[in-house]
Amino acid sequence: MKLLAPSLLLYLSLLLDDAQAVRFPLQGRMGGFGNTLRTTAMTRRASILGTPDLSNQGNMQYQTNVTLNGKEFQNVLIDTGSSDLYVVGDVPGAKDTGKIGQVNYAIGSTKGPIKTATLNFEGFTVKDQAFIEQPVDSSHVEGSGIIGLGPGGASQVQDKLGAGAGDAVLDRIFKQNTSTPNYLTIYLGRAGDPTDPFPGDLTVGELVSPFENITSQPKLPVTQMSNRDGQHWTALLDKNGIIGPDGNRINTTKHATGNRLNVMFDSGFTFPQVSTNIANQIYARVPGATFANITGGTAPMWTLPCETELNITFVFSNVSYLIHPLDTVTSALQGPPDANGNPTCVGAFQPIVADHDGFDIILGMSFLRNAYMLINFGDFVEGSLAKVGDPYIQLLPLTDPAEAHNDFVQVRMGGVDRSADLQLLPALPDTSDNDDDDSQPHEDTLKKYLPYIIGGSVAAGVIILILIIAASYRKSHKYRRLHDPAPAGLPTTNAPFQQYQPTRRY
Ligand SMILES: *[C@@H]1O[C@H](CO)[C@@H](O)[C@H](O)[C@H]1NC(C)=O
Ligand SMILES: *[C@@H]1O[C@H](CO)[C@@H](O)[C@H](O)[C@H]1NC(C)=O
Ligand SMILES: *[C@@H]1O[C@H](CO)[C@@H](O)[C@H](O)[C@H]1NC(C)=O
Ligand SMILES: *[C@@H]1O[C@H](CO)[C@@H](O)[C@H](O)[C@H]1NC(C)=O
Ligand SMILES: *[C@@H]1O[C@H](CO)[C@@H](O)[C@H](O)[C@H]1NC(C)=O
Ligand SMILES: *[C@@H]1O[C@H](CO)[C@@H](O)[C@H](O)[C@H]1NC(C)=O
Ligand SMILES: *[C@@H]1O[C@H](CO)[C@@H](O)[C@H](O)[C@H]1NC(C)=O
């Protein structure tokens, strides 16, 4: 059994399938597809022409419709992180190939007979498309499924049926009409965004209007893996290409990939997966932030006051992609209540939980809402005869800083701009993405913190204490990883940070 395409958090499907009505905040559903959205007077991005092909489930999943032998499956997750199609429920008249297909996602899996049927997707008709017919069970709801839009080489079905008959959906589309330009574009809308209600769009071989200028954006070469099975839509982030909430670049220097992080773009992953260091640099300096287990979550995340506006930016090929503060600190999940009993929000950039190979971070939906993405498949199309060139990715920034700020003030601050009140705690030491690099001295870091001990700040004192422990730990052991450093894991009641927040307000 191979470990495959990390994608899709199971708990999301649990939430969606079993407890949708209970779990999702109302605003989370605003972007959900509904007839009302079509008629609502739209502003700005609503100028997108045509009807949305995606529905947005509370910013947690983006789904489309696919039809197999005339039967419509309406809740099919679009997933650039995997390469197989599965649907839940019977497909009338589908031809059984006699093979069994199985795909294991980062969390969750599918297993069922591999069948073929006529597929309708995005206006294309594909005869004898192979797919996995997943029987309905407690974790697979009739009418749902996943359409894998990743490179075809990673397809499990193709592995079983062979190239040609077993090709992934997009490979089939591109091959059956070589005039179809071999690219895919994805536009993800934001539920709960007061100014941009468009739920989302997906196109094959054409562009979403009015964002045709995406084709003038820098072409990020897809980092090619030696192993076809392990190929994903990945590209290199610029060196130290994340600008943190204090406006400074986060040190993401890595030796392994020539100082640049290899980033996988995964429309099936709700929360971006970053290193512990990056997550800490984004969230750990916020007064009141705690690292905690989240109800419904599979791994701990940072939780923080919902009105925390954090501006972070990713840089690819010198182009800045601002992340909307509604995405950086999300209300899609709730953290444990704070000391005053107020609900907390969750840091969407999560310290990595997925098994990953060959890439450093996964940029999922919380990133993709901020960049319209074009993936040109280049020569990756299975069995393509003509050499058409190397695959590449283009990203068009979508988030306007002033508009995003106003959105945030409106949605999270009750209309009163209090962003200036945010006082970040002192910079954290670079806990380093070089988990196996033991060469950095720690004394410097400790010195930087000394004044705060003298100042008597309890919070800083705790940070220093942890640093000292970490430093001594480091002396005697081979340094691995500062798991849950600094404020992480501190009890949520009586958190020392409370004494360090002259401006804290809830
Ligand atoms: C999916 O199909 C249903 C039923 O035909 C339709 O109401 C809905 O608008 C479709 N959704 C999308 C996102 O196209
Ligand atoms: C093939 O694709 C081209 C470009 O999208 C389109 O104009 C043409 O009608 C397609 N041909 C068929 C047979 O579908
Ligand atoms: C691309 O076009 C959109 C829509 O017209 C516009 O808002 C945006 O500023 C343009 N972006 C670039 C980088 O040209
Ligand atoms: C960033 O990290 C690398 C590796 O850990 C280190 O060599 C470098 O000095 C750091 N750069 C800065 C500006 O802190
Ligand atoms: C989360 O829960 C696990 C299992 O109960 C526990 O080991 C871990 O320490 C918890 N993490 C945090 C940050 O509370
Ligand atoms: C980004 O800008 C810097 C400084 O202007 C330049 O040296 C570098 O080549 C640029 N990088 C890319 C990928 O365009
Ligand atoms: C975030 O950026 C916006 C737009 O530049 C700015 O108005 C706001 O003050 C910033 N907020 C914080 C907390 O840095």
Q: Which helix (H) or strand (E) holds 473?
A: helix 458-476
Residue nearest to atom 11 of ligand 1 (CA): 65
Distance between CA atoms of residues 20 and 25, nearest Å: 9
Ligand 7 pocket test, pick from 285, 309, 327, 418 with the greatest ligand atom count within 8 Å of Cβ, gives: 309
Residue by residue, DSSP assigns 229-267 as GG--SEEEPPTT-EE-TTSSBP----TTTTTS-EEEE-T
Do 22-200 and 206-430 have matching folds? yes
Ligand 4 residue neighbourhood (C-beta within 6 Å): 251, 253, 430, 432, 434, 437, 440
Residue nearest to atom 3 of ligand 1 (CA): 74
503 vs 388, higher pLDDT: 388
Q: What is the mean pLDDT of the chain?
A: 77
Mutate which of 176, 179, 206 to test ligand 2's pocket (most atoms within 8 Å of Cβ)?
179
Pairing state of beta strands 350-351 and 273-274?
parallel
Q: What is the pLDDT of residues 172-220, one digit of tens each?
A: 999 999 899 999 999 999 999 999 889 999 999 999 999 999 999 999 9
288: which 2 tokens? 């009141």
294 lines ligand 5 (CB under 6 A): no
Q: Ligand 4 centre from 443 Cα, in Å?
A: 15
348 lines ligand 1 (CB under 6 A): no
Q: Which ligand is nearest to the CA of 289?
A: 5
Question: What distance in Å separates the CA atoms of residue 47 and residue 27, rounded to the nearest whole number?
Answer: 22
Can you name the CATH fold of 22-200? Cathepsin D, subunit A; domain 1 (2.40.70)
- CATH number corresponding to 206-430: 2.40.70.10
Least confident piece of the model among 29-33, 274-278, 316-320: 29-33
pLDDT of 423 > 90? The answer is: yes
Predicted model pTM: 0.80
Given this model, what pLDDT does residue 5 score?
31
Q: What is the residue whose two structure tokens read 């990715």?
A: 393
Residue-level pLDDT at 54: 94
At 235, phi and psi to the nearest 5?
A: -150, 165
The pLDDT value recorded for residue 454 is 24
Domain locations in the chain? Answer: 22-200, 206-430
DSSP track, 406-459: HHHHHHHSTT---GGG--PPSPPP---S-TT-----SHHHHHHHHHHHHTT-HH
The counts of H helices and E strands in the chain are 11, 25
Report the amino acid identity of residue 96. Answer: D
Average pLDDT, integer, range 130-155: 95
The better pLDDT of the pair 73, 5 is held by 73
- Residue 216 CA to residue 58 CA, distance in Å, equals 31
